[in-house]
Structures are given as structure tokens and as C-alpha cells.
């Protein structure tokens, strides 16, 4: 079974450029999560969706960040304009509804983003 | 206030020995759950084990088990018969939120297995 697929795996871009990270959740999963991992702040939840609807975006750092989930099999996290402090590993995770609360979130391999 | 505390930044264990990674949590909810994830140097996050607050028995998954002490609010991960491949960062996480979907992660513990 295919896991969560993220692209690109690595992104290096200059400050001020728009960055788009992509995620394909596991088929049949109805919840999708975007996380950011840094040395200073650890793993932080940015936003999550249930059934393609954003439920909690309180972790989104500022208006430069936006996320969409146009359908059940695709989500994007966009940063515009990007800044060096956005450099981090960004993870996407998905979770199925069946089985209730004990279902784990399954993570993609992450996108390592470097803003110069 | 920090909800998940992992007090051990780094741990060493000899191959084939058991090791315990500490995790304490803070919540006023009656229903909650705790997860452990492994992050090897390659970077991916791998789910290991889950413990629900109402589970009467400690969770076990192969060489992984949870030492769940509800009154102390601790959910320590025990890895038995350590292998070199167990060297990784380990994260404890607690689910929260009305729909139980949000995970709050601890800072992690780096485990190094020595041969």
C-alpha cells in the first residue's frame, strides 16, 4: 500500500520566492495534517483538515502561509513570500476514520525546505 | 504550559539490552491517548505504539511496550533487546482536541545503541 507521498523531497529557493509543497494522503484517509519540524521548536502542527475542510489552522505562523485541500487525494501548503526563517522540514500526515481515536497518523517522508 | 515532557535529551544502551524512554504528560481530559513515534536519521516518522487512557493493560507491539502509569501521568516506552537499528530520535505525543485529531509532540529523546 502506498503511504503518504510528499513532493518535493528537497527544495532550495531564494528569499521572496513562492514555495508550494504537495501531499497525497493515503487512499481512504479522511484527515490530513501539515507539520513543521525545526531544531528550536520541534514538531508543530500547522493545520489539519477533516473531509477536505480546514478544522484548525491556529498553528499557521502568519498570513504568508496558506493550505488547501481541493479533494480527498491532494493538499498543498504554500508560502508566499518565503523567508529564511521558514527553513525547516515540513511533514504531511494522514489518518483514517475507522477504528476511532487509536488510529495513528501516518507521516510522509517530509520536504526539507531551505530558504537562502 | 508544556503538555508532553521528555526529560532525556539523549540515551545510550548496549545492544541486546532493554531501555526505557521517559514521557510525562499533562491533561485534564479523562479521555486521551498517547503515541510513540520513531524518527531515524533518514528523517521519516514511524508510528510505534499507542496507549489509550481507558486501556486497562499496557500496550505492547513486538519489542516495544508502554509502561503506562496513569496516576503519575507517565507513558514510558520500553524497548527490549535493543538493536543497532533502534538508534533514532523517539517522540512521545498526546492526542487532544474535540475530535481527538490533534497531536502534541514532546521534544524527543535521541537513542544510540552501542555494539
Question: What are the chain A neighbours of B35 within 8 Å (beta carbons)?
Answer: 104-105
CB-closest option in A48, A91, A106 to B101: A48
Residues above pLDDT 90, as percent of chain A: 90
Q: Residue B52 and residue A73: Cα distance in Å, rounded?
A: 29
CB-closest option in B33, B43, B107 to A110: B43
- Whether the pLDDT of residue B101 is over 90: the answer is no
CA torsion through residues B40, B45, B49, B53, sign: positive
- Condensed to tens digits (0 to 9), the pLDDT of residues A17-59 reads 999 999 999 999 999 999 999 999 999 999 999 999 999 999 9
Check B102 against A95: CB less than 8 A apart.
no
Instruction: Tell me if residue A84 falls in helix, strand or coil.
Output: helix
Amino acid at each position: 500500500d502506498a503511504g503518504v507521498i510528499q513532493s518535493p523531497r528537497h527544495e532550495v529557493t531564494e528569499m521572496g520566492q513562492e514555495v508550494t509543497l504537495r501531499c497525497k494522503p493515503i487512499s481512504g484517509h479522511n484527515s490530513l495534517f501539515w507539520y513543521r519540524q525545526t531544531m528550536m521548536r520541534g514538531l508543530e502542527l500547522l493545520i489539519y483538515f477533516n473531509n477536505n475542510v480546514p478544522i484548525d489552522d491556529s498553528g499557521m505562523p502568519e498570513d504568508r502561509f496558506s493550505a488547501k485541500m481541493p479533494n480527498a487525494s491532494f493538499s498543498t501548503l504554500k508560502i508566499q513570500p518565503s523567508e529564511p526563517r521558514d527553513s525547516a522540514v515540513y511533514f504531511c500526515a494522514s489518518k483514517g476514520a475507522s477504528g476511532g481515536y487509536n488510529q495513528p497518523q501516518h507521516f510522509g517522508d517530509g520536504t526539507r525546505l531551505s530558504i537562502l | 504550559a508544556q503538555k508532553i515532557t521528555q526529560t532525556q535529551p539523549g540515551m545510550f544502551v548496549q545492544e541486546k539490552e532493554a531501555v526505557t524512554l521517559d514521557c510525562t504528560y499533562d491533561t485534564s481530559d479523562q479521555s486521551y491517548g498517547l503515541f510513540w513515534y520513531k524518527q531515524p536519521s533518514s528523517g521519516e516518522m514511524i508510528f510505534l505504539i499507542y496507549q489509550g487512557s481507558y486501556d486497562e493493560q499496557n500496550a505492547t507491539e513486538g519489542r516495544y511496550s508502554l509502561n503506562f502509569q496513569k496516576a503519575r501521568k507517565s507513558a514510558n516506552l520500553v524497548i527490549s533487546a535493543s538493536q543497532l537499528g533502534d538508534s533514532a530520535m523517539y517522540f512521545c505525543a498526546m492526542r487532544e482536541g474535540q475530535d481527538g485529531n490533534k497531536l502534541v509532540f514532546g521534544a524527543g529523546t535521541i537513542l544510540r545503541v552501542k555494539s
